[in-house]
Amino acid sequence: MQNSETNSVINVVKSVEPPKLLEQVRGKIRLKHYSIRTEQAYLDWIKRFILHFDKRHPSEMGAVEVEVFLTYLAVERNVSASTQNQAKSALLFLYKEVLGVALPWLDNVEQAKTPKRLPVVLTKTEVQAVLGRLSGTHWLVASLLYGTGMRILEVLRLRVKDIDFERKEILIRDAKGFKDRVTMLPLTLVTPLKTHLERVKQLHQNDLNDGLGAVYMPQALGLKYPYAARDWIWQYVFPSGNLSQDPRSKNEVEPVMRRHHLQDQSVQRAMRQAVVDSAITKPATPHTLRHSFATHLLEGGYDIRTVQELLGHSDVATTMIYTHVLNKGGRGVSSPLDVL
């Protein structure tokens, strides 16, 4: 009888196939709490790498194939240095974290040099012109970008609990580098934000009435506080107008439908049109408002360390780049033509 039970267990174990490579990658990424965008980017690059070599398994390849692939991206595809480095990071993660292969050669693969470019900065008049051509939620998001210096995804991922109207502060959770920081809440946005949140709260109540209303909870908070996902304080400040399938539940038997936050592409399109309508001859994007925030603070005489803290830069050298785009021309030197 025992032999029969033992054989049954062995047969069950044999019937369970090991997870496929991409599933292993996905599991390792989620174990390390990487963002969903990093997960999607890494999986995409690993797929491209495998397909480039006729679906050979990465364990059968090595330094030669990685260098050939990265060279192909730079020479034939003419990708930017940052894109090439992202592909390298994905392959580095695959070999070190998933396959568990010690490959010292991968550290020696040459890193593409990212060109050092000065950021595009709008003048105060140009910022006014752009904001004046936006409306509704897009205006509010753009105003927060310029008024606080946040990155676009930092704004869109804000939860109701992160805004402190009494202290006039905004708490930014899990920003770049998994760091938290605090920035100011512009006084001019207090009333518009409160009005906006009243509409969002009604939308959330409608979802609850329909048996929905659960928002994505970061990391393991959903297990620790199973009912918190439906609480008002955890809802996104800028929710999407439509319900959508949670990409993390894509391979589950019953995919989860949630109201995610507003997509950044929507804000980018609105900003692009506002720049065109303002007749501004600069390639301005939502991130340009962050650059403008930093530059205008420095122009106003604020200490660079204060600006560094508000932007969330680890190194003040990163913040120093804005000293080169102040409104005094190159290096702050007056042209000799102007004194003739």
Catalytic site includes residue 176:
yes
DSSP 13-49: HHHSPPPPHHHHHHHHHHHTT--HHHHHHHHHHHHHH
Catalytic one among 204, 261, 290, 291?
290
Record the pTM: 0.77
- List CB contacts of 21: < 8 A, sequence separation 6 or more: 46, 57, 58, 98
Confidence of residue 96 (pLDDT cuts 50, 70, 90): confident
pLDDT tens-digit series, residues 124-172: 999 999 999 999 999 999 999 999 999 999 999 999 999 999 999 999 9
Residue 11 confidence (pLDDT) above 50: no
Catalytic site includes residue 313:
yes
pLDDT tens-digit series, residues 175-224: 877 788 999 999 999 999 999 999 999 999 999 998 888 898 876 676 77
Catalytic one among 138, 151, 204, 258?
151
pLDDT of residue 135: 95
Catalytic site includes residue 117:
no
Catalytic one among 47, 176, 230, 248?
176
User: Which of 20-29, 116-125, 159-168, 310-319 shows the highest mean pLDDT?
Assistant: 159-168
pLDDT of residue 160: 96
Catalytic site includes residue 322:
yes
pLDDT tens-digit series, residues 218-256: 766 767 777 888 999 999 999 998 888 877 666 666 777
Element (H, E) at 88: helix 81-93
